[in-house]
Structure 1
Amino acid sequence: MNMRFLLTFVWVARLGSFRLTAEKLSSTQAAISSRISVLESELGVQLFQRDSRGVSLTREGHNVLGYAEEMLATQQRLLQSLGKADTYSGRLRIGVMDTVIHSWLSELINALSQDYPLVEVELTADTALNLSEQLLKGQLDLIFQTDLLRADGVRNVQLASYPLSWVVAKGAALDRPYDGLEDLCQERLLTFSRLSRPHQDVLNYLHQQGISTPRISCINSVAAIIKLVADGFGIGVLPPVLVSRELQSAAMIALPIKPAPGFAVYVSWRAGAGLELNEAVVNLARSVVAEYQRTASPGHFVLPDAPG
């Protein structure tokens, strides 16, 4: 039995679409359909129901899926026994939010190129909401973002937390004493894109403090926020780790006012037979993040508590 055809069957079952499976496997829709037809003829059963909404497993298809995943897992264990399981190759599609790009993404890409030189990395930068949608559609293999993604076949691990600070340009008009949070919120606040987890958390925090109409400008680019803060356009609601050089050089300062709570970053990925590279990259990311934390200023980048 052709293992590639079994892998194709598993991906059609996961994604519910021949088109999305073709994109995932760098193939054509006609080739995917042909593989499934051959597999159905070989097994003597219909694996999928096809209609205008896509494809869904038949009763026989559900039965075959368990065996197919078991056979792919057995193949992986065989490769492990031969010392070939870590020879990963192919394309890995990673989705990242802007905060990750401006902190430890470069270190992860360097580690990937060293540990898995045959893997071609394709990066997509977007909001957490869009990244989650693309993962579920099979357009991405794993994503780094701010929300737990609850879906069949998807796993999540919290990698780190990013505390926030109120950051201003040193010597700018906004670099002045403030009587408290309400006084500070009379000025323009610059933070992450609207409806993002950090934006919503900042709004909720300010509302809890009795500030219902803060002057918030939402910007979907960390680089743009940092530039605007440096130019004195507003007060940045930022993780200080993203402006560590500016803080160390005193080009920016963190105001001594209690900040809004920070936000967590998770890695979310599809797990299962044939997806061992995803698991390997998750473990690599955890090592990279741990090393990054050791180089960050105390309290600027926080690892999750170890399970007790």
Structure 2
Amino acid sequence: MNLRFLDTFVWVARLGSFRLTAEKLSTTQAAISSRIAVLESELGVQLFLRDSRGVSLTAEGHRVLGYAERMLATQRELHEALGHGQTLEGRLRIGVMDTVIHSWLDQLIAAVTQSYPAIELELTADTALNLAEQLARGQLDLIFQTDLLRAEGIRNLHLASYPVRWLVASDSHLARPYANLAELAGERLITFSRHSRPHQDILGLLQREGIAEPRVCCINSVAAIIKLMGEGFGIGALPPALVIEELARGSLMPLPLAGPPPFDVQASWHGGAGLALSEAVVALSQTVVADWCTRLGPERALPVLV
């Protein structure tokens, strides 16, 4: 039995699409269809049901999937036991939210390039909600975002938490004492994109204080939030880890009020046999993020120790 055809079968089962599998394996949709047809002929069963929405496993396909994943895992273990494990290579599609771009992404890319030079990284920047949808549809292999994703075949790892503070431009009219959160909420507040985890956390915090209609401005760009804060447009809710230089030179300052809940960063990826690229980069990200948090200090970033 051709193990490459089994690997193709596993990817079609994961992604639910011949087209997405062809993109993932850098081949044509016709080649994917041919491999599945050969496998179905050899096994004597139909593996997929095809309709306008894509493909789904038949009952026989579900049974075959478990065996296929174990066979691929056994192949990998055999190579490793013989001391000539396969070099990690191929394309890994990573999705990142803007916060990661402004913190440790460059260090992760450097670490991947040094440790696994044969891996080709394809990066997508988007909001956490959009990244989660693209991961579910199989358009991304690994994402770094804010939420724990609960879906079949998806694994999660909590990498770090960033404390969040209320921040203002030091020379603006907003840089003044506030008696409480209600007084603060009388000004315009700037946070991340609408319906994101930080946005929901801020709304929840304000609602618990009885503040029903705050003026919240949602921005999906960290650079834009920092610029607007610097121009005195509003009070930002942002991790100090993202504005280290601005705080150091005094152009931004934190307000002495308790901030919103911490900003979490999760790694989420498709788990299973044949996904060594994702697993390797997730392991590297743990080390990179832990080192980054240690350099910043606990008041700015807290690594999750596992």
Shared fold (TM-score, shorter chain, > 0.5):
yes
Number of the residue aligned with 1:173: 173
**Amino acid paired to 1:212:** A
The CA deviation at 1:92 is 0.6
Number of the residue aligned with 2:51: 51
Write the mapping of 1:69-80 to structure 2, written as runs, cut at 5 A.
Answer: 69-80=69-80
SS at match of 1:94: strand
The CA deviation at 1:86 is 6.0
How many residue pairs align between the two structures? 306
Q: Per-residue CA shift, 1:153-198, capped at 9, x if unaligned? A: 1110100111110111112221122222222111111110000010
Write the mapping of 1:143-162 to structure 2, written as runs, cut at 5 A.
Answer: 143-162=143-162
Number of the residue aligned with 1:204: 204
Number of the residue aligned with 1:140: 140
SS at match of 1:258: coil
Write the mapping of 1:265-304 to structure 2, written as runs, cut at 5 A.
Answer: 265-304=265-304
Number of the residue aligned with 1:103: 103
The CA deviation at 1:251 is 1.5
Gaps of 5+ in 2: none
Contact map agreement 2:239 2:263 (CA 8 A) in 1: no
The CA deviation at 1:60 is 2.1
Number of the residue aligned with 2:4: 4
**Amino acid paired to 1:209:** E
Residue 264 in structure 1 maps to residue 249 in structure 2? no
Number of the residue aligned with 1:22: 22
**Amino acid paired to 2:156:** N
SS at match of 2:46: coil
Identity %: 66
**Amino acid paired to 1:264:** D
Contact map agreement 1:241 1:297 (CA 8 A) in 2: no
SS at match of 1:103: coil
Partners of 1:84 and 1:128 in 2: how far apart?
38
What's the TM-score, normalizing by structure 2? 0.96
> Could you say what the CA RMSD is over the residues aligned between the two structures, in angstroms?
1.3
Number of the residue aligned with 1:36: 36
SS at match of 2:277: helix
**Amino acid paired to 1:142:** L
Number of the residue aligned with 1:182: 182
Contact map agreement 1:158 1:265 (CA 8 A) in 2: yes
SS at match of 1:140: coil
Partners of 1:53 and 1:167 in 2: how far apart?
47
SS at match of 1:143: strand
Partners of 2:287 and 2:86 in 1: how far apart?
17
Partners of 1:80 and 1:123 in 2: how far apart?
29
Number of the residue aligned with 1:232: 232
Q: Per-residue CA shift, 1:100-130, capped at 9, x if unaligned? A: 1111111101100000001110111111111
What's the TM-score, normalizing by structure 1? 0.96
Relative distance call for 1:86 and 1:204 in structure 2 (3 A) is farther
Contact map agreement 1:128 1:147 (CA 8 A) in 2: yes
Partners of 2:85 and 2:231 in 1: how far apart?
51
The CA deviation at 1:54 is 2.1
The CA deviation at 1:82 is 3.5
Number of the residue aligned with 1:125: 125
Q: Per-residue CA shift, 1:208-240, capped at 9, x if unaligned? A: 111111111100100000011111111111011
4+ runs of 1 displaced by more than 3 Å? 82-86
Partners of 1:101 and 1:85 in 2: how far apart?
32
Gaps of 5+ in 1: none
Partners of 2:56 and 2:62 in 1: how far apart?
10
Relative distance call for 1:85 and 1:173 in structure 2 (3 A) is farther
Relative distance call for 1:149 and 1:249 in structure 2 (3 A) is same
The CA deviation at 1:300 is 0.9
The CA deviation at 1:305 is 5.1
The CA deviation at 1:58 is 2.1
Partners of 1:98 and 1:80 in 2: how far apart?
37
Number of the residue aligned with 1:252: 252
Partners of 2:219 and 2:52 in 1: how far apart?
39
Partners of 1:18 and 1:53 in 2: how far apart?
11
SS at match of 1:12: helix
Number of the residue aligned with 2:164: 164
